[in-house]
Amino acid sequence: MSMNLLRLFNGRKASAPVARERLQILLAHERGLRGQPDLLATLREEILAVVSRHIQLDPDKVTVKLDRGPTVSTLEVDIEVPNNFEHEVRANRRLGAV
């Protein structure tokens, strides 16, 4: 009540409710992850292992990002591969490598 009245007078929007809501969403998520191994690091490692079986990769050029939205989240996997990697793969196959 008092907060609403004051807001009416000074015309500014209270930021505390936004802070509370952001914290509640974030902490609900972080508490769920607690005690579990780092999901993104595990994903990155395993994706790197699978792709490396076929293409030579620079491990630093693999990024895995998670963007949490209110209803759905996006998992973004970004792998930078060298040009001509298809030729290298074919050449390796002919040599009986891989």
Partner 1 sequence: MANVLVVTSGKGGVGKTTSTAALGAALAQAGERVVVIDFDVGLRNLDLVMGAERRVVFDLINVVQGVAKLQQALIRDKRLENLWLLPASQTRDKDALTDEGVGRIIAELRTKFDWILCDSPAGIERGAMLAMRYADEAVIVTNPEVSSVRDSDRIIGMLDSKTVKAEQGERVTKHILITRFDPARAARGEMLSIDDILEILATPLLGIIPESQDVLRASNVGSPVTLNNAASAPARAYTDAARRLMGESVDMIVPAERRGLMNRLLGRRAA
* Binding residues for partner 1 (CB under 8 A): 1-3, 6-7, 10, 12, 14-17, 19-20, 22-24, 26-27, 30-31, 34-35
| Residue number, 14 or 41, with CB nearest to partner 1 | 14
| Residue number, 66 or 91, with CB nearest to partner 1 | 66
Neighbours of 64 (CB within 10 A): 19
CB of 93 to partner 1, least distance (A): 48
Contacts with 61 (C-beta within 8 Å, 6 or more apart), sequence order: 79, 80, 81
CB of 81 to partner 1, least distance (A): 37
* C-alpha 46, offset from chain centre: 15
Neighbours of 54 (CB within 10 A): 14
| Residue number, 21 or 45, with CB nearest to partner 1 | 21
CB of 34 to partner 1, least distance (A): 5
Distance, in Å, from the CA atom of 93 to the CA atom of 16, rounded to the nearest integer, reads 61
Query: Residues 87, 59: contact at Cβ < 8 Å?
Result: no
| Residue number, 16 or 50, with CB nearest to partner 1 | 16
